[in-house]
Amino acid sequence: MALSPCSVDKARYRGPAHHVYPAILVGVETQRTHHRLCVEHLDEMLTWLDAHLDRVELQQDFTQPVEQKCLACEQPIGFDRAAVFVTAYPLQDERIDFFGVSCTSALCLKSVRKALSL
């Protein structure tokens, strides 16, 4: 099996690559990237995602009001917001979609970008 470097620590590792695609949408600007992660950094990323974002279920009932709080500072969000989408492929045929919103303060955007290595 080919050795591929992990996007987070640049260390080469053995084993399958785990792909994570984070994107952040601020106003009309979208920033997206693609990480190949070793299993250790995948676990770290999934733990952070589960703590801060919601898993999007295909069967989700969108008529339910969703509580809109900044995923970074946990303050209620107004009209000015950034949308954060992350698709993770922990295993070959498993896909998890995450969604969250963040306020557009420089501090919150910075911490979101840092956590996602965006």
The rounded Cα 37 to chain-centroid distance in angstroms is 13
53 is an interface residue for Zn ion by CB under 5 A: no
Binding mask 9-28 toward Zn ion (x if CB under 5 A, else -) reads x-------------------
Rounded to the nearest 10 degrees, the angle between the axes of helix 106-116 and helix 39-52 is 150
109 is an interface residue for Zn ion by CB under 5 A: no
Structure tokens at 100: 């969250």
41 is an interface residue for Zn ion by CB under 5 A: yes
What is the enclosing helix (H) or strand (E) of 21? strand 18-26
DSSP classification of residue 67: P
Output 38 or 84, the one with its CB closest to Zn ion: 38
Residues touching Zn ion, count (CB under 5 A): 10
Q: Which residues contact Zn ion (rule: CB under 5 A)?
A: 6, 8-9, 38, 41, 70, 72-73, 103, 108
